[in-house]
Amino acid sequence: MKKIIFFLMLVFLSCQSERNVEEIKLTKPTMVSISPDSIALNELQEKWDAEDFMSVIDDVMWYHSELMMVVDSFDIEQLNTEKRKIKLIGGENYWQIDMDTTELKWRYIYFDGSDFLERDAITMKDLLSEN
């Protein structure tokens, strides 16, 4: 009996975690940028001292801005989110993301209309500028 109850609880919990995933359908070239939510930012703030934290945030914002200017200049759609769990769906492909399981706090994923590509902001900017 205990095994059955345990199994049913596992099934219930897995269904709950699936419901918390936001599905985003992409139909054209799109730059998806995922930023840390307030919980992740608080964790980073506790991890670093105030000066280091502000320095990192300043750098991230500068590189993010540089990338978004390139994305904007090519008239690529932009999608920004702080969601922790998302599923990007594009054509026949999909990408499931759980920000709770990654050390990366800022992520950049480019959907070119058929496939996904993830790079950091600097590399993504260079890649888009070259093509």
Instruction: Supply 57's token pair.
Output: 């945030």
* Cβ–Cβ < 8 Å for 87, 17: no
What is the average per-residue pLDDT within 74-84? Answer: 92
Q: What is the pLDDT of residues 38-67, one digit of tens each?
A: 888 888 888 888 888 889 889 999 999 999
What is the average per-residue pLDDT within 27-48? Answer: 89
Does the pLDDT value for residue 131 go beyond 90?
Answer: no
Q: What is the pLDDT of residues 99-129, one digit of tens each?
A: 877 777 889 999 999 999 999 999 999 999 9
CA atoms within 13 A on the CB side of 67: 28
C-alpha–C-alpha distance, residues 52 and 44, integer Å = 10
pLDDT of residue 8: 43
